[in-house]
Structure 1
Amino acid sequence: MYQIAIVDDNEAWCFILEARLGQHGYAVSTFTDPDAFLREAERFDLALIDFSMPPRRYQINTDGPDVICRLRQRVANPPLVILISSFFTDDILSQTSDLGLEADAYLSKSVESAGLLRQIDRLLAPKRSLAREKSQGRTDSQQRSERSSVMEMGDSLRRCG
């Protein structure tokens, strides 16, 4: 099961997303405090981070681009990031690109979850493929081992008989 973090100062929005993603089989944790998220970030496969969180609520600057920057600096294996916002425009997208804080995807906040689910599926597809390959690899080696054991048993029976 994939682990998804939601980092947003709006608790109601966190609740809505958590419920929707949970219905689709994702394990979801919500964070209204970006520092709490950063302390646990390595355990997540993907993070939905709000672009605009009010800095006055926290001790330090905590808007989405800052959280992404800190995430990339502190975490050896950071999760994939979808930056979400109520007001995404070309200016905002270029601002994040200019700062070198490119997220893996950008989405507008919306009550419609199909677009979000498509983005999550698209971003997690390589991880799914890798997991499937690893699983298949173990299955293939197990099958080879079983075939080898059966052949050895057959050889032993022939020698005895």
Structure 2
Amino acid sequence: MTDDELMQLSKTVGDALKQQGATLTAAESCTGGWVAKAITDIAGSSAWFERGFVTYSNEAKAQMIGVDPAVLTQHGAVSEPVVIQMAQGALTAAHASYAVSISGIAGPDGGSENKPVGTVWFGFASHDGTVVTRHECFNGDRDAVRRQATVYALKTLWQQFLQKA
């Protein structure tokens, strides 16, 4: 997806949030704030983007958004239980309507047989208590994995929560 297409996707998400009178927060690890950047590239996004959390380390995940250190130890940062807690913690901390969380292995190092480079977990939480998770394995270099994860997060948010509203 080109930068222009990413900007259009961010605008579509923002327009839907604005229409609902809803707000969004993001808890990002491997994308390092790319979702927040894509969103805040849209003029007027302060009306619907509350705040973002770049929780790259396990300590940041625990301190900033309340991820249980025992869950991090048991499952690892790149796991379904962690992205659930990231999304729910960000939702609560930001008092937002929706949250997206992302934790993955962008590479080139850090992969394993069970979690190869390109593995990314996503969590989506809504103020109504709905939680959705997704798992993807993207191809490409570090930049490509991070871009694909950012696009996937915004598209899934749109499809799961905003499009039907």
Q: Same fold (TM over 0.5)?
A: no
TM-score of the superposition, structure 1-length normalised?
0.28
Structure with the bigger percentage of strand: 2
Q: Which has the higher helix share?
A: 1
Q: Answer 1 or 2: higher relative contact order, Cα 8 Å, separation at least 6.
A: 2
Larger Rg: 1
